[in-house]
């Protein structure tokens, strides 16, 4: 019904960005470009899991200490706040740009 192409018949040409004065697209090395994207995704997932773990630590400490949690859970809370205040994490989620737009 359809003529199937083998993978050797398919060629991908780089994006032509000559309007911007660049002869080839941004990804001059496509393999490195894809590897960098995968690495960013892995780092993002690690940071998300770290925040989840720190949040569980804070919740556990609050439940264990009861009304004394203000004094006895300060270290866990500081670590959690530092993790969620990381500007790199906020950049990935796009919240920093939204906060700047709301402030203006």
Contacting residues for 47 by C-beta, under 8 A, at least 6 apart: 83, 86, 88, 89
Q: In this model, does residue 42 exceed pLDDT 70? A: yes
- DSSP 8-state secondary structure symbol assigned to residue 15: P
Structural domain span for residue 52: 29-103
Interval 73-91 mean pLDDT: 84
Count of domains observed in the chain: 1
Whether residue 89 is contained in a domain is answered as: yes
Is the pLDDT assigned to residue 57 strictly greater than 60? yes
Whether 62 shows a pLDDT value over 90: the answer reads: yes
79 is a domain residue? yes
Please check whether residue 61 is in contact with residue 69, taking contact to mean a CB–CB distance below 8 angstroms.
yes
């Amino acid at each position: 019904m359809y003529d199937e192409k083998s993978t050797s018949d398919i060629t991908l040409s780089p994006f032509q960005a000559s309007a911007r004065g660049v002869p080839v697209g941004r990804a001059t090395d496509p393999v490195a470009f894809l590897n960098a994207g995968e690495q960013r995704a892995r780092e993002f997932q690690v940071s998300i899991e770290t925040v989840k773990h720190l949040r569980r630590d804070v919740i556990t400490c609050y439940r264990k200490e009861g009304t004394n949690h203000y004094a006895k859970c300060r270290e866990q809370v500081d670590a959690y706040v530092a993790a969620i205040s990381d500007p790199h994490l906020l950049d990935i989620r796009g919240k920093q740009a939204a906060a700047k737009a709301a402030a203006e």
